[in-house]
Structure formats: structure tokens, C-alpha cells
Amino acid sequence: MKTIKLIKTAAIVVLMIGSGLVSAQNPPHPNSGGQPGSGNTVVGGQQGGAPVGSGTFLLIGLAGLYAGKKTYNLKKQSIL
């Protein structure tokens, strides 16, 4: 029992430390480091950014529905 807790604790610590050590690449410099308007790199919008906002609200809404269904089922089982 103690070894299982030790393994779980060690795994959590490794994951927490590991997540702090990894990092993403830096974004490219706009216009390849030149003066404004001298390069072909677009600053902002059209570089492949994915919209996250609507997906987040959808995920939260579905999680709320799932939790509500689970709660309803638990209450229904305890009454019967």
C-alpha cells in the first residue's frame, strides 16, 4: 500500500516538474525582422491561430450536462 502511494506521488512530482521544463517555440518575428512593410509575414490574424473560445464554452456546457445527469441518476437511485 505504501509503495503504491509512493509511486503515485513520484509520478505526480515528475509530471509537475516536467511540465514546467518544457516550453513552446517563440513566435516568428513579424516581417522577418525588417522594417514594417518590407517583408511578407502578416502580423496578426492570418498565421494559423485557432479559435478557442467557442470550443471552451461547448466543453464547459457538455461537462455541466454530464454532471447534471450523473447527479440526477444518483438522486434517483437513492430514492428508490
According to the 3-state scheme, what is the secondary structure of the chain?
CHHHHHHHHHHHHHHHHHHHHCCCCCCCCHHHHCCCCCCCCCCCCCCCCCCCHHHHHHHHHHHHHHHHHHHHHHHHHHHC
- Distance between CA atoms of residues 42 and 27, nearest Å: 12
Torsions phi, psi for 22 (to 5 deg): -80, 145
Mean pLDDT of all residues in 29-43: 56
Most confident of 33-42, 52-61, 67-76: 67-76
Q: What is the pLDDT of residue 80?
A: 53
